[in-house]
Amino acid sequence: MPTKTSYYDRDVNFDRLTAADPDIAPLLKSSKARGHINFQDAKTVQQLTYSLLKCDFGLTITLPDDRLCPPVPVRWNYIHWIQELLDTTSPTYHVREAIRGHDIGVGASCIYPLLACSSRQGWTFTGTEIDPHSLSFAQHNINTNSLSDRITLALVSPDASLIPTQGNLDFTMTNPPFYSTTSDLEADNSTPKSNPASAVCTGSANEMVTPGGEVAFVTRIITESLILKDKVQWYTAMLGHLHSLQTIVITLKRHKIGNFAVASLQAGWKTNRWAVAWSFRDFRPRCDVARHGNLVRNVLPVATARTVQCGDAFAARKLDEAMRGLGVEWKWEVEGKVGIVMAERNVWSRAARRRRDSREPPAPREVLLACRIVLQGISVEVNWLKGNDDVLFLSFCGMLKRLLA
């Protein structure tokens, strides 16, 4: 069981769940009598979703038998990752901060807005759905949980814009269909696999299939984001295949979108999904959020943290004196050995020192680099907080390494 500040990182504890919710006990008891839990039985899978939502989040939903039954753990992990993205890129973060999100394709469960609003009181949602049948159940689930004042849904056509153009958003999210054609879905279901799906799928065609598959769907969002840019702080998507994530990262780099984050949302020993987020703003997420989970190297963004080794016991004094002499904004907490530096430009290179020596007046600029510096024993951790220039960040870390060697 996760807390509202943690991930599902282990398999579901069925003994705990049975003790907490009598409704699932008969199903699990009969499953254990057979020696295993039958995840190919739709009723068992559906009750597991109901029980996890009830016990871990205080939510009650109703699902039709002919629509997707969403596994809760990986869905929560996606929501929690978005929460961490926002928490670590907000200069005024507070857990009760007002946040506005948009879910593209809420499905019959409306699970993402429900999970998010149940865990953060200041969050509100808009959401869209192309299927009237799913939308009716989603609205029912919102009403059942008394969240109609915080979650607003709309029926849209498949070719409508994916992101609202009116007003600003803190984030968008989507979990698009995997498959590009119905024949691809049917072929995948009929092909014997060495590692078959962990649970039965009850999804309808419109939930499982979209022209071009999940890559094409997320590429549409990227295209729209190039127009909307910083009207949305974080654009995000959850993907079913690692190769899809690799393709999307290549697309982001081709459009010179350098502030992006990726995640492996492992939930237990078998279920894994991948997530990607990108932003046109210059606040940088914490490194373990930008590179969350076990990931292959070719999808990783620039690390937003660097560790610099100190050469002597006077590192704190040397660091403080050097920062004060650079002409940057510098705040140093002596007791905590934590500092915040903000620079309008590179003021530590040889060229910058020559300009300073010649008293050449600097051109006024916005802050191009902000870092949090923490002295821990014989090392310094540099966390990149703000900026779009990774070369400037690496240059600053190089200067610290030479200074403290």
The pLDDT tens digits for 195-204 are 444 555 555 5
128 beta partners: 104, 154
Q: Are residues 76 and 121 in the same domain?
A: yes
Amino acid at residue number 222: I
Q: Which tokens go with 342? A: 């903000």
Q: Are residues 279 and 323 in the same domain?
A: no
- Alpha-carbon Rg for the chain, nearest whole angstrom, is 24
- Which range (40-54, 97-111, 224-238, 381-395) has the least confidence? 40-54
* Band of pLDDT at residue 180, cut at 50, 70 and 90: confident
Residue 50 covered by a domain: no
Question: How large is the average pLDDT for residues 255-277?
Answer: 92
- Which of 299, 323, 358 is the last residue in one of the domains? 299
Amino acid at residue number 145: N
Separation between Cα atoms, residue 45 and residue 65, nearest integer Å: 11
Q: Are residues 238 and 92 in the same domain?
A: yes
* Residue 362, pLDDT above cutoff 60: no
CB 170 within 8 A of CB 233: yes
Q: Distance between the two ends of the chain, CA-based, in angstroms?
A: 45
- Which of 299, 325, 343 is the last residue in one of the domains? 299
Separation between Cα atoms, residue 328 and residue 349, nearest integer Å: 13
Separation between Cα atoms, residue 216 and residue 251, nearest integer Å: 11
pLDDT at 202: 57
Q: Are residues 111 and 233 in the same domain?
A: yes
- Which of 257, 280, 299 is the last residue in one of the domains? 299
- The CATH number given to whatever domain includes residue 263 is 3.40.50.150
pLDDT at 12: 84
Burial class of residue 146, CB neighbours in 10 A (0-12, 13-18, 19+): exposed
pLDDT at 358: 46
- Which one, of 292, 298, 286, 253, lies nearest residue 381 by Cα? 286
Separation between Cα atoms, residue 106 and residue 101, nearest integer Å: 12
Sequence-distant (6+) residues with CB within 8 A of 54 are: 21, 60
Q: What is the pTM of this model?
A: 0.89
* Residue 355, pLDDT above cutoff 80: no
Q: Are residues 167 and 290 in the same domain?
A: yes
Q: Are residues 243 and 294 in the same domain?
A: yes
Question: How large is the average pLDDT for residues 261-279?
Answer: 91
pLDDT at 220: 98
Average pLDDT over the chain, rounded to an integer: 87
* Residue 359, pLDDT above cutoff 60: no
Residue 310 covered by a domain: yes
Q: Which tokens go with 147? A: 């969240």
The string of pLDDT tens digits covering residues 112-168 is 999 999 999 999 999 999 999 999 999 999 999 999 999 999 999 999 999 999 999
pLDDT at 18: 84
Q: Are residues 84 and 203 in the same domain?
A: yes
Residue 43 covered by a domain: no
Q: Are residues 257 and 119 in the same domain?
A: yes
- Output phi, psi for 67, to 5 deg: -130, 165
Which own/partner pairs from 211-215 qualify as long-range (CB within 8 Å, at least 24 positions apart)? 211/180, 212/180, 213/176, 213/177, 213/178, 213/179, 213/180, 213/184, 213/244, 214/176, 214/177, 214/178, 214/239, 214/240, 214/241, 214/244, 215/244, 215/247, 215/248
Separation between Cα atoms, residue 6 and residue 404, nearest integer Å: 36
pLDDT at 24: 86
Can you give the residue range of the structural domain that contains 393? 305-404
* Band of pLDDT at residue 394, cut at 50, 70 and 90: very high
pLDDT at 123: 97
- The CATH number given to whatever domain includes residue 334 is 3.30.310.80
Residue 123 covered by a domain: yes
Q: Are residues 245 and 333 in the same domain?
A: no
Residue 41 covered by a domain: no
Q: Which tokens go with 361? A: 């007046």
Q: Are residues 286 and 318 in the same domain?
A: no
The string of pLDDT tens digits covering residues 278-327 is 999 999 999 999 999 999 999 999 999 999 988 776 788 888 988 888 88
Residue 11 covered by a domain: no
Written in H, E and C, the secondary structure of the chain is: CCCCCCCCCCCCCHHHHHHHCCCCHHHHHHHHHCCCCCCCCHHHHHHHHHHHHHHHHCCCCCCCCCCCCCCHHHHHHHHHHHHHHHHCCCCCCCCCCCEEEEEECCCCCCHHHHHHHHHCCCEEEEEEECCHHHHHHHHHHHHHCCCCCCEEEEECCCCCCCCCCCCCEEEEEECCCCECCHHHHHHHHHCCCCCCCCCCCCCCHHHHECCCHHHHHHHHHHHHHHHHHHHEEEEEEEECCHHHHHHHHHHHHHCCCCCEEEEECCECCCECCEEEEECCCCECCCHHHHEECCCCHHHCCCCCEEEEECCCCCHHHHHHHHHHCCCCEEEEECCCCEEEEEECCCCCCHHHHHHHHCCCCCCCCCCCEEEEEEEECCEEEEEEEECCCHHHHHHHHHHHHHHHC
Scanning the structure block, which residue is given the tokens 């038998």?
A: 65
Q: Are residues 313 and 286 in the same domain?
A: no
Residue 230 covered by a domain: yes
Residue 36 covered by a domain: no
pLDDT at 188: 59
Tally of domains in the chain: 2
Q: Are residues 351 and 367 in the same domain?
A: yes
* Band of pLDDT at residue 354, cut at 50, 70 and 90: very low
* Residue 364, pLDDT above cutoff 50: no
